[in-house]
A and B are shown apart, each in its own frame.
Chain A
Amino acid sequence: MPAKKPTKTSGIKDLVIRVCVGTGGLAAGSQEVIDEFGRQLKSYGIKADILKKCVNKTGCRGFCAKDVLVDVILNGKSETYQLITPENVARIVEEHILKGEPVKEWLVGPEYHAFHDKQTKILLKECGHIDPEDINAYINIGGYEAVRKIFPLETFEVIEEVRASGLRGRGGAGFLTGLKWDLCSKAEGKPKYIICNADEGDPGAFMDRSVIEGNPHSVIEGMIIGGYAIGANYGYVYIRAEYPLAIHRLKIAIADARKKGFIGKNILKSGFDFDIKIKEGAGAFICGEETALIASIEGKRGMPKAKPPFPAYKGLWGKPTVINNVETLANLPSIITKGAKWFASIGTEKSKGTKVFALTGKIKNTGLIEVPMGISLKEIIYDIGGGCERNRKFKAVQTGGPSGGCIPASHIDMPVDYESLMGAGSMMGSGGMVVMDDTTCMVDMAKFFLTFTQNESCGKCTPCRIGTKRMLEILTRITEGKGKEGDIELLLELGNDIKLSSLCGLGMSAPNPVLSTIKFFRDEYEAHIKEGVCPATVCKALRRYTVSAELCKMCGKCFKACPSAAVTWEKKQPAVIDKTKCIKCGACYEACPFSAIL
């Protein structure tokens, strides 16, 4: 194609453009941005061979709040743009790439640097920098070195290295990975299996997805290391069907690794065989629990079993099986190449290394972060997260998903590690961190989580099946303004009983969101029950719909929206709501374009 705008392009010796194509980036329109860069560069006659190589797709780099993020690396100098749309591309090409003058007002600001400065990146280091669909990109940064390194070692030496690193499982419970491997390697029975748990059921978390989308080979390499250590020749990745992009990239990665001989028969002439299969989940939260996950791979209903026997002794098809979380596995290559000592030097005494969190909710800088264990909540929320949106008041942060709890603002100085979180009635969980401000109702949050667990309870044991249902009924009536004296005590009693008597981790932790919100926000529960008020004005039935005469612009929309003729309004008169007729449906509130209904 002839260059339509002849311009000097000789100054461009080396050009790389990196655009994030994680799920977040794609939703923000990164594919359109990539296409536009292609079109623009072509129209200037920039050579196609540069073109093919220079627009790089990468996985998520974490700062999703400012997507689409674009790196322009011109002759070795890198600049990062934020919030880029296809319309911005022409100017970037013209001013930055052709004239060498970056478009200042679109460059990332200080929040971008603040967001990254407090982080310590091991797992996410390469996410957002390398092309996840290219195995050579991974090999170039030292990928698959760890696999080479372990083969001359005895399996117990590999296990010892992992144990010495202090790595604990990132899937929730925080069990020592080295210990789990040791048990399984000594267990009787063949063949053995290693399963990567990529079910990521916590609603509000996307760390595992991002790691797989951004650097799938690190997970595969981790599985090979684990397989070698415990003596397993087969691995499964159990992954949510809701993650099509992650599945796609994983498939490519497995095929490429097989082509290069990192998986298959006699890997690197070591005599060790290893192969990996992908199993797509069929949509059930409980299948993240290890025994249920195994049942699901076997094609059955995903019902958990009582432990012991632990999967390390009797797992998939009744054979010894290790189940590890995505993040746990992705840590292994660096532990092997850099050594246990290096890993153990990061973090606290009992919690080593880093943890990836999905920082979301009502916070300014949402995204994916990786921090050293033991960092304080304050540093996460304010330094990295930039505080609450619209500078509202920070109220609590929820960790551990439906199994965890809400940590109140008063505990902001708490260090983030396994023990501290547990002590505050929450847990590390897989790494969701949902921030709440003063417009979030804690009773509603508790109800939200219980609705979820109630729905996902497999129904095998009574305390979980019926107990959570009763708790949900109580919470529902509280949010509807029909709470009774004694409801809080009843919730506490039921919650503790369910925790003690449930069969699996789902039931044992299901009451946590309720118990922790009662512990720290009992006054909110009491306001609902005793005063019939929802302090955060979230619970619809407890709203008192009145019209603010000051804000009312007399448009009459609320009058038309009201289904029970409770609104009176005449032209040029502010509307009035008759409380005796109001059925609290909220129609007027939603219809009002001026937020005049309070």
Chain B
Amino acid sequence: MNEKKCLAILDSYREHGGNIISLLQEIQESFGYIPEDVVFWFSKRLNIPASNFFGVATFYAQFYLKPRGKNIITACCGTACHVKGSAPIINKIREELKLPQGETTTKDGKYTVESVACVGACSIAPVFIGNKKVFGKMSMEKAAEMLKEIDKGKGK
């Protein structure tokens, strides 16, 4: 655990005031996810039960309790994308990356495949986001291209 990072977050929390959500958002911003020991650290300092933190962290989809992969692929599972056939493409990508069922991050920590309900670009459904770049009108072929593109850029 990185105590320095925690202290910096604690300072800004005390200075700006804030609540559990904003604190967790800062922890995640700094660590990439919400590490368990960090939560206990803050729980002690702030005298807030750790269960309050975990209660909030597990409620919102935005918080991750496990580290995420270097490359992030977000699949839209909204209505428009579903109707336009996003499900088989998601399965294909998961298969390609050899993701076991129920897992979202590959063993080597290279890729995370997650889903979100509608990214708000329904008119170009199905939509995928690979490392923040939006790919619209996705097909099996384009998915393979996207994976290649991400793979190439991974040295960055």
What is the total number of residues of chain A having a CB less than 8 Å from a CB of chain B? 54
Instruction: Tell me whether A366 and B123 are in contact (CB under 8 A).
Output: yes
Judge if A74 is at the interface, Cβ distance under 8 Å.
no
Minimum CB–CB distance for B96 against chain A, Å: 13
Question: Which residues of A (171-210) have their CB < 8 Å from a CB of B?
Answer: 200-206, 209-210
Minimum CB–CB distance for B133 against chain A, Å: 8
Judge if B102 is at the interface, Cβ distance under 8 Å.
no
Question: Which residues of A (15-65) have their CB < 8 Å from a CB of B?
Answer: 23-24, 26-28, 64-65
Instruction: Tell me whether B80 and A28 are in contact (CB under 8 A).
Output: no
Judge if A254 is at the interface, Cβ distance under 8 Å.
no
Instruction: Tell me whether B84 and A358 are in contact (CB under 8 A).
Output: no
A524 to B88 Cα, complex, angstroms: 22
Judge if A463 is at the interface, Cβ distance under 8 Å.
no
Instruction: Tell me whether B88 and A590 are in contact (CB under 8 A).
Output: yes
Name the A residues within 8 Å of B63 (CB-CB). 282
Interface with A: B3-11, B19-27, B36-44, B146-154, which one?
A: B19-27
Interface bits B55-88 vs A (CB < 8 Å: 1, else 0): 1100111110000000000000111111110001
Judge if A362 is at the interface, Cβ distance under 8 Å.
yes
Interface bits B86-119 vs A (CB < 8 Å: 1, else 0): 0010001000000000000000000000001111
Instruction: Tell me whether A360 and B125 are in contact (CB under 8 A).
Output: yes
Instruction: Tell me whether A361 and B80 are in contact (CB under 8 A).
Output: yes
Name the A residues within 8 Å of B118 (CB-CB). 202-206, 242
Judge if B121 is at the interface, Cβ distance under 8 Å.
yes
Instruction: Tell me whether B122 and A206 are in contact (CB under 8 A).
Output: yes
A110 to B43 Cα, complex, angstroms: 63
Judge if B135 is at the interface, Cβ distance under 8 Å.
yes
Judge if B32 is at the interface, Cβ distance under 8 Å.
no
Name the B residues within 8 Å of A358 (CB-CB). 80, 122-123
A436 to B84 Cα, complex, angstroms: 9
Instruction: Tell me whether A301 and B78 are in contact (CB under 8 A).
Output: no
A368 and B20 contact, Cβ closer than 8 Å, known pairs A282-B61, A434-B80: no
Partner of A23, one of B18, B56, B77, B120: B120
Instruction: Tell me whether A301 and B55 are in contact (CB under 8 A).
Output: yes
Name the B residues within 8 Å of A366 (CB-CB). 122-125
Instruction: Tell me whether B79 and A401 are in contact (CB under 8 A).
Output: yes
Give the nearest-CB partner of A456 in chain B: B117
Partner of A243, one of B81, B120, B123, B140: B120
Partner of A440, one of B59, B83, B88, B92: B83
Name the A residues within 8 Å of B123 (CB-CB). 24, 64-65, 206, 358-360, 366-368
Judge if A271 is at the interface, Cβ distance under 8 Å.
no
Instruction: Tell me whether A28 and B120 are in contact (CB under 8 A).
Output: no
Instruction: Tell me whether B117 and A23 are in contact (CB under 8 A).
Output: no
Partner of B134, one of A23, A203, A280, A448: A23
Partner of B124, one of A27, A240, A401, A432: A27
Judge if A283 is at the interface, Cβ distance under 8 Å.
yes
Judge if A299 is at the interface, Cβ distance under 8 Å.
yes
Minimum CB–CB distance for B31 against chain A, Å: 16
Minimum CB–CB distance for B23 against chain A, Å: 8
Interface bits A298-327 vs B (CB < 8 Å: 1, else 0): 111110000000000000000000000000
Name the B residues within 8 Å of A449 (CB-CB). 79
Give the nearest-CB partner of A60 in chain B: B123
Minimum CB–CB distance for A124 against chain B, Å: 14
A209 to B127 Cα, complex, angstroms: 16
A296 to B61 Cα, complex, angstroms: 13
A283 and B21 contact, Cβ closer than 8 Å, known pairs A204-B78, A205-B118: no
Partner of A360, one of B20, B80, B116, B134: B80
Instruction: Tell me whether A283 and B61 are in contact (CB under 8 A).
Output: yes
A368 to B136 Cα, complex, angstroms: 16
Q: A205-B118, A282-B25 are in contact. List 12 more A-B contacts (CB 8 A).
A: A64-B124, A65-B123, A204-B78, A205-B122, A242-B119, A283-B116, A299-B56, A360-B83, A368-B123, A432-B79, A435-B83, A590-B92
Query: 20 A–B contact pairs at CB < 8 A?
Result: A26-B134, A27-B127, A28-B136, A64-B123, A201-B117, A203-B80, A242-B120, A280-B25, A282-B25, A284-B59, A298-B19, A302-B59, A358-B80, A358-B123, A366-B122, A432-B79, A436-B83, A448-B82, A590-B88, A590-B92
On A, residues with C-beta under 8 Å from B are 23-24, 26-28, 64-65, 67, 200-206, 209-210, 240-243, 280-285, 296, 298-302, 358-362, 366-368, 398, 401, 432, 434-436, 440, 445, 448-449, 452, 458, 590
What are the 4 closest A-B residue pairs judged by CB atoms, nearest first? Answer: A299-B19, A204-B79, A283-B61, A203-B78
